[in-house]
């Protein structure tokens, strides 16, 4: 094997109770020192890299007459599996709404304070956790 840094990728196999998780580690390969023992690697505790999930949030149009507007997003892993029990937020017109994804990776926000007609810019965000990086997406929500 040539000298250098290699990335080791380990993916767990999902089951009924767990999602698949991919972890990464840097492996450093170096030549033996002159004394015949391996040289000391420069980074033995490289942090595992987090996977980046996929956030699907589409523009949506609501009728003005609807009192509670329900807006649904989908959060999946880097392997396109549902990311369940993840906390996500929707920020629109200065108000932040919270939701948690279900077993299918879907989260529904119940927007109550959006009563005036118009097009609004919203940001959907997943802050990340121990296995996944945070991600956000900007969408337009229209009330007509």
Region 64-92: mean pLDDT is 95
Q: Is the pLDDT of residue 96 over 90?
A: yes
* pLDDT band per the 50, 70, 90 thresholds, residue 121: very high
Burial of residue 54, with CB atoms counted within 10 A of its CB: 0-12 exposed, 13-18 middle, 19 or more buried? middle
Q: Is the pLDDT of residue 141 over 90?
A: yes
Q: What number of other Cβ atoms are within 10 A of residue 96's Cβ? A: 11
**Mean pLDDT, the chain, whole residue set:** 85
- pLDDT for 14 equals 73
Predicted TM-score (pTM) of this structure = 0.68
In the chain, the percentage of residues whose pLDDT exceeds 70 is 86
As given in the structure block, the two tokens for residue 85 are 């029990």
Region 57-79: mean pLDDT is 95
Burial of residue 41, with CB atoms counted within 10 A of its CB: 0-12 exposed, 13-18 middle, 19 or more buried? middle
Which of the listed ranges 2-11, 38-47, 118-127 does the model predict with the highest average pLDDT? Answer: 118-127
In angstroms, how far is CA 43 from the centroid of its own chain? Answer: 27
Using one digit for the tens of pLDDT, what is the confidence trace for 23-62? 767 677 777 655 555 555 555 555 678 899 999 999 999 9
How far is residue 110's CA from residue 99's CA, in Å, rounded to a whole number?
9
Map 90-128 to HEC letters: EEECCEEEEEECCCCCEEEEEECCCCCCEEEEEEEEECC
- pLDDT for 1 equals 65
């Amino acid at each position: 094997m040539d000298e250098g840094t290699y990335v080791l990728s380990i993916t767990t196999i999902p089951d009924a109770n767990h999602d698949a998780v991919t972890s990464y580690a840097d492996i450093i390969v170096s030549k033996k020192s002159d004394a015949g023992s391996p040289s000391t690697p420069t980074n033995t505790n490289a942090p595992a890299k987090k996977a980046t999930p996929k956030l699907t949030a589409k523009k949506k149009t609501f009728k003005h007459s609807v009192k509670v507007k329900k807006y649904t997003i989908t959060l999946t892993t880097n392997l396109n599996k549902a990311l369940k029990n993840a906390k996500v937020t929707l920020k629109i017109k200065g108000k932040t709404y919270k939701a948690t994804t279900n077993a299918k990776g879907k989260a529904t926000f119940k927007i109550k304070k959006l009563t005036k007609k118009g097009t609004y810019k919203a940001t959907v965000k997943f802050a990340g956790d121990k296995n996944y990086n945070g991600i956000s997406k900007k969408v337009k929500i229209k009330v007509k």
